[in-house]
Amino acid sequence: MFNRPGQVYPETYQAQLAAKAEQLRAEFSPFFKGSPTVHASPPTHFRMRAEFRLWHEGERSFFAMFDPENPKVPIEVSEFPIGSERINALMPALLDAIHDHPELRSRLFQVEFLTTLSGEALVTLIYHRKLDEKWDQLARELEQALDIAIIGRSRKQRCVLSRDHVDEVLTVQGQDWTFRQIENSFTQPNAVVCQHMLEWACRQAETIGGGDLLELYCGLGTFTLPLSRHFRQVLATEISKVSVRAAQHNKAVNNIDNVTIGRMSAEDFSRGWQTGEGRRISEYNLPGYDFSTVFVDPPRAGLDPDTVELVRQFDHILYISCNPETLRDNAAALDSSHRLVSLALFDQFPYTRHREAGALLQRR
Residue 36 has pLDDT above 60, yes or no: yes
Q: Quick one: pLDDT at residue 283?
A: 79
Mean pLDDT across 126-137: 97
Residue 212 in any domain: the answer is yes
Residue 22 has pLDDT above 80, yes or no: yes
* 64 and 146 co-located in one domain: yes
Q: How many CB atoms lie within 10 A of CB 104?
A: 21
Cα four-point dihedral sign 41, 218, 247, 150: negative
Q: In what order do the strands lie in the sheet with 316-321?
A: 37-39, 338-346, 356-363, 316-321, 291-296, 212-216, 234-238, 259-263
Average pLDDT, the chain: 93
* 39 and 62 co-located in one domain: no
Residue 223 pLDDT grade (very low, low, confident, very high; cuts 50, 70, 90): very high
Sort strands 121-127 and 108-115 into parallel, antiparallel or unpaired.
antiparallel
The Cα 311–Cα 10 span in angstroms is 40
The Cα 345–Cα 40 span in angstroms is 8
* 342 and 251 co-located in one domain: yes
Residue 171 in any domain: the answer is no
Residue 12 has pLDDT above 60, yes or no: yes
**% of residues, the chain, pLDDT over 90:** 84
The Cα 37–Cα 53 span in angstroms is 37
pLDDT tens figures, 335-347: 999 999 999 999 9
* 152 and 279 co-located in one domain: no
* 206 and 239 co-located in one domain: yes
CB neighbour list of residue 11: distance below 8 Å, 6 or more residues apart: none
Residue 255 in any domain: the answer is yes
CB neighbour list of residue 156: distance below 8 Å, 6 or more residues apart: none
The CATH number covering residue 120 comes to 2.40.50.1070
Q: Quick one: pLDDT at residue 102?
A: 93
| Whether the model pTM is above 0.85 | yes
Q: Residue 300: which domain range?
A: 10-43+190-363
Written in H, E and C, the secondary structure of the chain is CCCCCCCCCHHHHHHHHHHHHHHHHHHCCCCCCCCCEEECCCCCCCECEEEEEEEEECCEEEEEEEECCEEEEEEECCCCCCECHHHHHHHHHHHHHHHHCHHHHCCEEEEEEEECCCCCEEEEEEECCCCCHHHHHHHHHHHHHHCCEEEEEECCEEEECCCCEEEEEEEECCEEEEEEEECCCCCCCEHHHHHHHHHHHHHHHHHHCCCEEEEECCCCCCCHHHHHHHCCCEEEEECCHHHHHHHHHHHHHCCCCCEEEEECCHHHHHHHHHHCCCHHHHHCCHHHCCEEEEEECCCCCCCCHHHHHHHCCCCEEEEEECCHHHHHHHHHHHCCCEEEEEEEEECCCCCCCCCEEEEEEEEC
- Whether 159 is a known active-site residue: answer no
Residue 185 in any domain: the answer is no
Last residue of a domain, one of 166, 200, 232: 166
Residue 33 in any domain: the answer is yes
Residue 4 has pLDDT above 60, yes or no: no
Residue 4 in any domain: the answer is no
pLDDT tens figures, 54-90: 999 988 999 999 887 888 889 999 889 999 999 999 9
Nearest CA to 227 out of 243, 216, 215, 245 is that of 215
Q: Quick one: pLDDT at residue 72?
A: 83
* 262 and 352 co-located in one domain: yes
pLDDT tens figures, 141-154: 999 999 999 999 99
pLDDT tens figures, 255-291: 999 999 999 888 888 877 777 666 677 778 788 899 9
Q: Quick one: pLDDT at residue 269?
A: 84
Q: Number of C-alpha atoms within 13 angstroms, CB side, residue 203?
A: 16
Residue 174 in any domain: the answer is no
Residue 3 has pLDDT above 60, yes or no: no
* 197 and 288 co-located in one domain: yes
Last residue of a domain, one of 166, 182, 201: 166
* 225 and 259 co-located in one domain: yes
CA 57 to chain centre: 34
The catalytic position among 51, 267, 322, 325 is 322
* 111 and 237 co-located in one domain: no
CA 103 to chain centre: 33
The Cα 132–Cα 362 span in angstroms is 58
* 120 and 196 co-located in one domain: no
The Cα 350–Cα 144 span in angstroms is 34
Q: Which amino acid does the sequence have at 20?
A: K
Residue 263 in any domain: the answer is yes
Q: Quick one: pLDDT at residue 261?
A: 94
Last residue of a domain, one of 150, 166, 182: 166
The CATH number covering residue 330 comes to 3.40.50.150
* 328 and 264 co-located in one domain: yes
pLDDT tens figures, 278-334: 667 777 878 889 999 999 999 999 999 989 999 999 999 999 999 999 999 999 999
pLDDT tens figures, 108-125: 999 999 999 989 999 999
- Whether 356 is a known active-site residue: answer yes
The Cα 282–Cα 273 span in angstroms is 10
| Number of domains the chain contains | 2
* 314 and 253 co-located in one domain: yes
Residue 1 pLDDT grade (very low, low, confident, very high; cuts 50, 70, 90): very low
